[in-house]
Amino acid sequence: MGTERKRKVSLFDVVDDSLAKKVKSNGGANNSVANALINRWNARPYSQRYFDILEKRKTLPVWHQKEEFLQVLKDNQTLILVGETGSGKTTQIPQFVLDAVELETPDKRKKMMIACTQPRRVAAMSVSRRVAEEMDVTIGEEVGYSIRFEDCSSARTVLNLTSGFHRYLTDGMLLREAMTDPLLERYKVIILDEAHERTLATDVLFGLLKEVLKNRPDLKLVVMSATLEAEKFQGYFFGAPLMKVPGRLHPVEIFYTQEPERDYLEAGIRTVVQIHMCEPPGDILVFLTGEEEIEDACRKITKEISNLGDQVGPVKVVPLYSTLPPAMQQKIFEPPPPPLKEGGIPGRKIVVSTNIAETSLTIDGIVYVIDPGFAKQKVYNPRVRVESLLVSPISKASAHQRSGRAGRTQPGKCFRLYTERSFNNDLQPQTYPEILRSNLANTVLTLKKLGIDDLVHFDFMDPPAPETLMRALEVLNYLGALDDDGNLTKLGEIMSEFPLDPQMSKMLVVSPEFNCSNEILSISAMLSDECVLLGCHQQLSSLGSMPPVGMHHRILIPNCFVRPREAQKAADEAKARFGHIDGDHLTLLNVYHAYKQNNEDPSWCYDNFVNHRALKSADNVRQQLVRIMARFNLKQCSTDFNSRDYYVNIRKAMLAGYFMQVAHLERTGHYLTVKDNQVVHLHPSNCLDHKPEWVIYNEYVLTSRNFIRTVTDIRGEWLVDVAPHYYDLSNFPQCEAKRVLEKLYKKREKEKEETRSRR
DNA sequence: GAGCACTGC
């Protein structure tokens, strides 16, 4: 047998002496957890087991400060408002604001609006509903929301306003509005909520609003944030006054381990078991980094606790991550299981979650939080233009946010699986804002459209690396969105209107020239929806336990649900049904066509292992793209399906957008990305039946190897035709691809000469 | 022959 991993028990393992003895007397001979617990118990004095409470909260009702708040807002253009979760600022402050400012415009008949931004759609929606309720008005009349695909604050209502109007929207939506209304003139007050989250849109809005405020002395800005960075915000916004809103959370005791943990997953599981054995009733929330890890942990926790037998209460172990379908996410709100027998030990709910439970989803009843201190975070490498996800240590702010999740309904405890020293010395105070971790091509395009010409001197709160900006400008220039002086071109103007990456917008805008805009629209919609290809969970949850199969014949369901062989068979069937040998993009198109031909029938989707919910949302995206195309008179057209050029045209159009994402098959059998010369591998989910000499890819993923995912076969000749400016050999690194391209250029020259001499 | 943190337009 393999070597058994040595258990390392951390300091808060043993809480109660008598319980440890009880475990021993019950003869847990097969129970390694109990044994480890007892050994450790014997080895350490109790006094060393705990560190002390770190964070205690004062409670002072926000409402005492209302008058002060109104006065400060009257006297200042910008105000920073700091408050913990649960302070009620999100619903209360906008209402105060309404009392504080005169919403009438010089034209007395017109009223103005208050914008309140949130980083997430659900929040914008639910907060506006709650406020409407509190104000006792119908949603959409005095309070409304505006998110992508859904505007619940129609222009008609707003025009007829007799009082002020609160509009809750996502930060991204406000940024969109700024593109057509640069001074945001419809708003009298703008409230940026959850500003500490520092989303890309929030950061761009920061810089933009600083400019707008200078040009609109009547505009008020309220920046609402959690505590830690308040002074930084203050400094950035012209030393604006800062007000504090006390929180209403219960105190949370923080515990650290005395020594670093080698294996956070194992330590997390062990801590869950310890809490379950030793702590009073209350649900547990464990933070882990991803789907696979979470499913794995759920299985292990269930197993270990069932090994304990009836000396402990029953548990309900629930996974939580965003790709889980809503029906299964709902399980986190179910009550803990009842005692096994009357008067027995009460049950416990154990939620094992990604960062989604840190901010996006709130679970009441959590008393214990286990924080191993890691999360998957996006990082961007401008040198090779690759964004990837990396498991990395969280920030102090994030740790703080996690621990707060234990104190929503009663005093709680947070177990940090790292040392206090590590917390103080190793964790950075804040998570790096997204703008420092992203490819900024799209952001730069938006900024250009907003009229920001000098990006280098744009007042970012945290300026991105110059190399990242250079890369973005370069990409946009190659795509023809910016001219050589960095000015927005007509093409760039149109591209900026699409809620897509620049490569994809470019492909869409030029697709009519290749006589295939209908097909490119479908492919774009399918690509921009995150999980069209992963039908598994949805099927499982809605229709029973069928083999979980995505169109990429991936097997994503934990093996406990299905035997791999069956899943593989079903996957192969699905592949045979829709797979296009020339590439994954074309396979996506096949799926979309089949879906439409079968009248969008959910049971057809089920029978064919495709995700109905995802296809519906892709269709929604497609409709939005169609509307934008129509606005710019870009015609919708298709090549005759029976023509040999049908797929050729589609592949060429894709290349017109993605010519910078091409890989060449070397004689060694490896793919090298063109120009960047990175060794990459076709992701095994591809549906090609051969290894093409040239491929375009949609995504570059760094996992166990460098993979390119969603790939399509293209021809070298097309590179020379479609993007000669990028495939300019005088500016090209020495490589095999270059030599092949040289031949292709010569071939083209020869053909040209021949046609000339024939004339 | 591998596996999508979380958002957003």
- Listed in order, strand segments (DSSP E) in A40-93 are 78-83
pLDDT for A559 beyond 70:
no
Higher pLDDT: A193 or A20? It is A193
The two tokens of residue A680 are 């990459």
Per-residue model confidence (pLDDT) at position A543: 34
pLDDT for A168 beyond 50:
yes
Q: Which residue is nearest to nucleotide B6 (CA to C1')?
A: A356
Phi, psi values for residue A713, rounded to 5°: -65, 130
Residue A301 (CA) to nucleotide B2 (C1'), in angstroms, measures 26
* Structure confidence by residue, pLDDT tens digits, A305-338: 999 988 899 999 999 998 787 788 888 889 999 9
The 3-class secondary structure across A247-305, one letter per residue, is: CCCCCEEEEECCCCCCCHHHHHHHHHHHHHHHCCCCEEEEECCCHHHHHHHHHHHHHHH
Per-residue model confidence (pLDDT) at position A417: 95
Residue A200 (CA) to nucleotide B7 (C1'), in angstroms, measures 10
Highest-confidence segment of A111-115, A366-370, A563-567: A366-370
Which nucleotide is nearest to A321 if distance is taken from CA to C1'? B5
The residues with which A388 forms a beta bridge, in sequence order, are A379
Per-residue model confidence (pLDDT) at position A684: 84
Which nucleotide is nearest to A358 if distance is taken from CA to C1'? B6
Residue A195 (CA) to nucleotide B8 (C1'), in angstroms, measures 15
Which nucleotide is nearest to A624 if distance is taken from CA to C1'? B9
What value does the mean pLDDT of chain A take?
81
Q: If you average pLDDT over residues A600-607, what whole number do you get?
A: 85
Lowest mean pLDDT among A441-445, A508-512, A699-703: A699-703
The residues with which A351 forms a beta bridge, in sequence order, are A285, A318
Residue A254 (CA) to nucleotide B5 (C1'), in angstroms, measures 24
Q: Which residue is nearest to nucleotide B5 (CA to C1')?
A: A376
Per-residue model confidence (pLDDT) at position A687: 86
Residue A51 (CA) to nucleotide B3 (C1'), in angstroms, measures 39
pLDDT for A652 beyond 60:
yes
* Structure confidence by residue, pLDDT tens digits, A378-433: 888 888 888 888 888 999 999 999 999 998 889 999 999 999 999 999 999 889 99
Q: Which residue is nearest to nucleotide B2 (CA to C1')?
A: A684
Which nucleotide is nearest to A530 if distance is taken from CA to C1'? B4
DSSP 8-class letter at A691: -
Q: Which residue is nearest to nucleotide B9 (CA to C1')?
A: A499
Share of chain A above pLDDT 90, in %: 49
User: Whole-angstrom Cα distance, residue A74 to residue A97?
Assistant: 10
pLDDT for A523 beyond 80:
yes
Residue A602 (CA) to nucleotide B7 (C1'), in angstroms, measures 28
Residue A201 (CA) to nucleotide B8 (C1'), in angstroms, measures 8
* Structure confidence by residue, pLDDT tens digits, A183-231: 999 899 999 999 998 999 999 999 999 999 999 999 999 999 887 688 8
Which nucleotide is nearest to A378 if distance is taken from CA to C1'? B5
Residue A391 (CA) to nucleotide B6 (C1'), in angstroms, measures 13
Q: Which residue is nearest to nucleotide B8 (CA to C1')?
A: A172
The two tokens of residue A293 are 């890890």
Which nucleotide is nearest to A353 if distance is taken from CA to C1'? B5
* Structure confidence by residue, pLDDT tens digits, A410-419: 999 999 999 9
The two tokens of residue A68 are 């002060």
Q: What is the pTM (predicted TM-score) of this model?
A: 0.83
User: Whole-angstrom Cα distance, residue A435 to residue A446?
Assistant: 13
Cβ count within 10 A of residue A594: 16
Residue A287 (CA) to nucleotide B8 (C1'), in angstroms, measures 24
Which nucleotide is nearest to A575 if distance is taken from CA to C1'? B1
Residue A193 (CA) to nucleotide B7 (C1'), in angstroms, measures 15
Per-residue model confidence (pLDDT) at position A292: 86
Residue A26 (CA) to nucleotide B4 (C1'), in angstroms, measures 44
Q: Which nucleotides of B are covered by protein (CB under 7 A)?
A: 1-9
- CA distances to A183, A615, A616, A662 from A6, in Å: 62, 47, 49, 47
Residue A748 (CA) to nucleotide B8 (C1'), in angstroms, measures 44
Cβ count within 10 A of residue A537: 22
For residue A233, the one-letter residue type is: F
Residue A153 (CA) to nucleotide B8 (C1'), in angstroms, measures 19
Q: Which residue is nearest to nucleotide B3 (CA to C1')?
A: A556
Which nucleotide is nearest to A704 if distance is taken from CA to C1'? B2
Residue A210 (CA) to nucleotide B9 (C1'), in angstroms, measures 22
Lowest mean pLDDT among A278-292, A376-390, A715-729: A376-390
* Structure confidence by residue, pLDDT tens digits, A130-153: 888 877 778 887 888 888 888 887
pLDDT bin (cut points 50, 70, 90) of residue A522 is very high
pLDDT bin (cut points 50, 70, 90) of residue A488 is very high
Residue A323 (CA) to nucleotide B4 (C1'), in angstroms, measures 8
Lowest mean pLDDT among A34-43, A133-142, A294-303, A512-521: A34-43
Burial class of residue A468 in the structure, from the number of CB atoms within 10 Å of its CB (0-12 exposed, 13-18 middle, 19+ buried): buried
A515 in the Ramachandran plot: left (φ > 0), alpha (ψ -120 to 50) or beta? left
Which nucleotide is nearest to A684 if distance is taken from CA to C1'? B1
Helix (H, G, I), strand (E, B) or coil at A170: strand
Which nucleotide is nearest to A322 if distance is taken from CA to C1'? B6
Which nucleotide is nearest to A500 if distance is taken from CA to C1'? B9
